[in-house]
Structure 1
Amino acid sequence: METQNYIEYELVDSVSDRNIMTDSREEAIHAFEKGWTVYEHHNTINQHSKFTQSNLTVTMMWNDNPEFQGS
Structure 2
Amino acid sequence: ITGFDYSPQELEEIMNDNEIITRRGMHCAPLAHHHIGTQDGGTLRFSVGYFNSDNDLEVLKEILDSIF
**TM-score of the pair, normalised by structure 1:** 0.26
Structure of higher RCO (CA pairs closer than 8 Å, 6+ residues apart): 2
Structure with the greater alpha carbon radius of gyration = 2
Please state which structure has a larger fraction of its residues in helix.
Answer: 2
Please state which structure has a larger fraction of its residues in strand.
Answer: 1
